[in-house]
Structure 1
Amino acid sequence: MSLNSKAVGSMQLGDHLCLFFDNDEERRSIMAAYVRDGVRAGQKIIYISDAVTATEVLDWLLGAERDAPVAGPDGPGGPGDAADPVDLAAAMEEGHFVVRTAEETFLASGRFDPQGSLDLMATEIDLALVQGYSGVRIAGEARFSLRRWPGTEQHGDFERMLDEMFMTNDLKAMAICQFDRRWFDAERLAELEACHMGHVGADAYYDDGSLRITPIFSPPGVALAGVIDESTRPAAEKVLESVATRTNLLCLDVGGVTDCDADGLRLLTRADGPERGPNRGLLLRGVAPRLGERIESAGLARASGLAIDPAPR
């Protein structure tokens, strides 16, 4: 991730980050982790949807929980998740996890009022703290701002004011604002980006300091960075086996791989082998010249269904 980005699991109270996405699975993965982590931390979650109901949001997030890949011992799916499961449905019933539509939240007075919306958020935060929560997690879908409701032309002002509120106050809250690149043009996104402290991204599936495996969503797969050797290979194999079963074409971005032993090469080139079924493919993306030469000399470049995309020179 870039310097102005944070993994969702690393967010702290006081963060006001944006999520720019063009893939629904990416958004769902990040938001499910955000909500789940908030419940575990004893924080109240306020999710502001564009228009869908609380039940629909819950079903959508539960789908991410069901589809999450198994990871290594230091990533999602490891002992920490198993030992501390989260019942999102129960959290919603208890008021720990609240979903409201943008219309309910921002248009109670008949028009969108930036200052009134900020005051409402401040009141919600104060109330949650009085109720005993350790903080508040706010998540907002921003597509409502394109609906031409009265006052929504001031949405940019609202984002700037919200960022200033987070920057100048010691808030026991954090926020993610969600922007779909398929609806917002590049110029508008650049303006909105400037109204946030940075971007939020997905958590790593595995990271032990030597090897980091993170999800990519378009095309679906993972990015690997670091060393693949005897110590890290079992975790990599576990992640790849889980991810490979979920897509017909698996992309492994290996541009960050600095070293890889012979067994690691075989793992990378067979990550979506024929035993996983017919009509499946594997793309190795960002293959450095040295890594490509080793794959070729080992006779692995001609594996069935394998395509190799060299790194730019």
Structure 2
Amino acid sequence: MLTSEGTMQMASESIALGLSGLRIFPGDHICVFYPTRADRDAVVLPYLRQGLDAGHMCVGTMDSADAEGLLDTLRSQVDVPSALDRHQLEMYTSAESILRGAPFSAQTVLDFWERNIDKAQQAGFGFTRMVGEMEWALRQMPGVEALVGYEAALNQVVQRSPMVGLCLYELDQFGGDVLVDVLKTHPKMLIGGTVLDNPYYLQPDELHTLRQ
């Protein structure tokens, strides 16, 4: 399946995020902090809708109990059954996709995303949009070190692949110290309806040195 924006997005070509004319670039790994699930949906729904309209594969892992409600809302905007049937849209709960009842393993989660990137390319989708709700980390990760290490490694996966990724953090669920560390692993952040270069971002080797 060829996308309307090309079978392979080049690093210099921006794509529509889906929000108010915002543009993002292949390889962007964006941190999204939101106060309420309504704010989450105001980002995720247009992001997915824009991707489906552009012919991108869209893969999401949702952790909250209302994830099915998000899909129901999306059904009112695009042909979700058709997208699911042709595997252009893949939505999972964290329990069934990246955790599967096992202790947290960063490599297991990274393997999940890389399998989906490979699946998208094999199916003819030239580009992948990833979105992940991160509340599962509160229950499964042994500490902030594991979360920061995972996000830093995911950043490398996203940057070398024809994709973009949004990591979703509900502000009330995470402590300020965790959010500060998470911010350091994302080159960009979405705040107030604007995508910004993150001045607090550290390259993985810099982050590793800092945390030693």
Instruction: Give the TM-score normalised by the residue count of structure 1.
Output: 0.50
Distance 1:122 1:186, change over 3 A: same
Q: Which amino acid aligns with 2:127?
A: G
Contact 1:20 1:181 in 2 (8 A): yes
Structure 1's unaligned 5+ residue stretches are 1-5, 66-85, 205-313
Of 153, 156, 159, the match for 1:161 = 153
Counterpart AA for 2:39: E
What letter corresponds to residue 61 of structure 2 in structure 1? I
User: How many equivalent residue pairs?
Assistant: 174
Q: Is the Cα contact below 8 Å between 2:41 and 2:70 reproduced in 1?
A: no
Confirm or deny that 1:91 pairs with 2:83: yes
Question: Given the superposition, is the C-alpha separation of residues 27 and 141 from structure 1 closer, same or farther in structure 2, using an over 3 Å criterion?
Answer: same
What is the CA-CA distance between 1:61 and the residue it aligns to? 3.7
Q: 1:98 Cα shift?
A: 1.1
> For the residues of structure 2 that align with 1:7 and 1:42, how far apart are their CA atoms?
13
Deviates more, 1:33-42 or 1:94-103: 94-103
Report the AA paired with residue 23 of structure 1. Answer: T
Residue 28 to residue 116, structure 1, CA distance change in 2 (3 Å): same
- Alpha carbons of 1:44 and 1:17: their partners in 2 closer, same or farther (altered >3 Å)? same
Question: Please, what TM-score do these two structures have when normalized by structure 2?
Answer: 0.72
Which residue number in structure 2 is paired with residue 190 of structure 1? 180
**Which structure has the greater CA radius of gyration?**
1
Measure how far apart 1:19 and its partner are. 0.5
Aligned-residue CA RMSD (Å): 2.4
AA matched with 1:31: V
Per the alignment, residue 199 of structure 1 pairs with 189
The answer to whether the Cα contact below 8 Å between 2:151 and 2:182 also exists between their aligned partners in 1 is yes
Alignment equivalent of 2:111, drawn from 112, 116, 119: 119
- Greater relative contact order structure (CA < 8 Å, 6+ sep): 2
The answer to whether structure 1 residue 43 and structure 2 residue 56 are counterparts is: yes
Counting only pairs closer than 5 Å after superposition, residues 89-238 of structure 1 correspond to structure 2 as 89-108=81-100, 110-147=102-139, 149=140, 151=141, 153=143, 154-167=146-159, 169=160, 171-201=161-191
C-alpha spacing 1:180/1:109, structure 2 compared with 1 (3 Å): closer
Q: Give unmatched runs, 5+ long, in structure 2.
A: 1-16, 195-212
Letter matched to residue 104 of structure 1: E
CA distance in 2, matches of 1:33, 1:164: 25
Q: What is the match of residue 20 of structure 1?
A: 33
Q: Give the structure with the higher percent helix.
A: 2
